[in-house]
Amino acid sequence: MIEQISKQKIFDVIKSIDSKIVQKIIIFDEVTSTNNEAKKLIQNGEEEGTIILALTQKTGRGRFQRIWESPKGGLYFSIILKPTVSPEKTTLLPLVGALAVSSTLRSYGLSAEIKWPNDVRVRKKKIAGILLESDAYKSHLHYVILGIGVNLNIDINVLSDEIKNKTTSLFQEHHAVDYVKFLKELLLQLDTYYLLFLNEEYETIISEWKKQSDTMNRRVKIVSSTDEIIGAAYNVDNSGFLLVITDSGEYKKIMSGDCLYFDEL
Ligand code: BTN
C-alpha cells in the first residue's frame, strides 16, 4: 500500500505550482520532527516559504505535548512563515492550516470537518492535525512554523492502541491516494487561505472555517492546563477564539485548549 515516493516528483511539483508562499522544499527520509528541523533552519537564516517535509518522523509532536505517530505513508511537513503582522494575529494561522487541509480532503469527496481550533476529522475520527510554533519579541514576530500532519496512506492498524479507535486515514476512508498530487492540492489550498490572511480578510477565513467546522452550537468541554469550561459554543471571532456561553450564563472567550464534544464523551 505504501507507494514509493519519488523525491524528484515532489521537487517538480513544487517548481510547477504558482504559489505565493511555497518557495522551496527540503525533503528528508526521516527526522525527529519537521518542526524541529524548521527551527534549526530558521536559526541559519532560512526565509519564508521553505517547506521541510519528511517521509517519517521519529518523534513527531502534536498539541499539548502529545506524540504525533508518523509511520511511512503519512504526509508530514512544516512551512516557515514570516508574515509582517503583529504576533497576536498568528492565532488565526492554525485555523488557516486546518481549513486548507479540510478543503483538500473535501476535494477528494471526504466529509472532513474541523473541530475547534484545528483538528480535522472524518466520521468523528482524527485524520489530520496542525501544530503552530512561533517566536516573537514584543510586537515583532520573528517566525511561524506551521506543521501539518495528514494520515494519508496509512493502515490504521500500525498505530498504537491508544489512538487507533479515534483515528482514521485517507486509505481507510477512501483508498490510497497519490502522495504528490495530494501535497500539491494542499499547498495550493494553503496558498489561497494564507493570501486571505495576508490581505487581512479575516472574516472570509472565519466564515469559510465555520462552514467546514462542526463545533458551532455544540455543547463543549474545553480543557486547558488551568481551567475547564463547559457550555455551548456559539461563535468564533476574527482571532480564531472560541466564544462559549457557560451553563451559568457567562460569556467566555477561549484562546486555547482541548475542545471535547459532550455527545462524544
Ligand atoms: C495535533 O493535532 O496534535 C497536531 C499534530 C501536528 C503534526 C505535524 S506532522 C508535521 C509537523 N511536525 C511535527 O512534529 N508535528 C507537526
Range of the domain at 185: 7-212
Q: Among 76, 81, 223, which is best to mutate for testing ligand 1, by the most ligand atoms less than 8 A from CB?
A: 76
Q: Residue 169 in contact with residue 102, Cβ under 8 Å?
A: no
Shared domain for 85 and 186, answered yes or no, is yes
Do residues 208 and 128 share a domain? yes
Q: What is the CATH number of the domain that holds 167?
A: 3.30.930.10
Please tell me what DSSP assigns to residue 247: T
Which residues on neighbouring strands pair with residue 25, listed in sequence order? 51
Q: Is the CB of 35 under 6 A from ligand 1?
A: yes
Domain annotation covers residue 16: yes
Note whether 208 and 238 are same-domain residues: no
Provide the residue-wise pLDDT of the chain in tens; the chain has 265 residues.
556 888 999 999 988 998 888 999 999 999 999 999 999 999 999 999 999 999 999 999 999 999 999 999 999 999 999 999 999 999 999 999 999 999 999 999 999 999 999 999 999 999 999 999 999 999 999 999 999 999 999 999 999 999 999 999 999 998 899 999 999 999 999 999 999 999 999 999 999 999 999 999 999 999 988 889 999 999 999 999 999 999 999 999 999 999 999 999 8
Residue 18 near residue 191 (C-beta atoms within 8 A): no
* C-alpha of residue 129 to centroid of ligand 1, in Å: 6
Radius of gyration from C-alpha coordinates of the chain: 18
Helices 202-211 and 93-107, packing angle to 10 deg: 50
131 CB near ligand 1 (under 6 Å): yes
Same domain, 240 and 195: no
Is 240 part of any domain? yes
Asked whether 151 lines ligand 1 (CB < 6 A), one says no
Examine residue 2 and state whether it is found in any structural domain, yes or no: no
Ligand 1 centroid–CA 71 distance in Å is 13
Whether residue 221 contacts residue 228, with contact meaning beta carbons closer than 8 Å, is answered with: yes
Q: Is there a contact between 62 and 133 (Cβ–Cβ < 8 Å)? A: no
Q: Please report whether residue 60 resides in a domain.
A: yes
109: Cβ contacts below 8 Å, ≥ 6 apart: 174
Cβ atoms of residues 148 and 95 within 8 Å: no
Helices (H) and strands (E) in the chain, counts: 7, 12
The pLDDT assigned to 2 comes to 59
Residue 89 CB less than 6 A away from ligand 1:
no
Sheet with strand 24-31: strands edge to edge: 24-31, 50-57, 75-81, 140-150, 125-137, 119-122, 112-115
The alpha carbon of 251 and the centre of ligand 1 are apart by a number of angstroms equal to 31
Q: Which helix (H) or strand (E) holds 232?
A: strand 228-236
CA of residue 59 to ligand 1 center, whole Å: 10
| Ligand 1 neighbourhood includes 236 CB (under 6 angstroms) | no
CATH number for the domain harbouring residue 246: 2.30.30.100
- Say which amino acid occupies 150: V
Q: What is the distance in A from the centroid of ligand 1 to the CA of 110?
A: 21
d(CA 232, CA 212): 18
Query: How many independent structural domains does the chain possess?
Result: 2
pLDDT reported for residue 8: 94
Task: Find residue 147's DSSP bridge partners.
Answer: 78, 131
- Residue 230 phi, psi (nearest 5): -120, 135
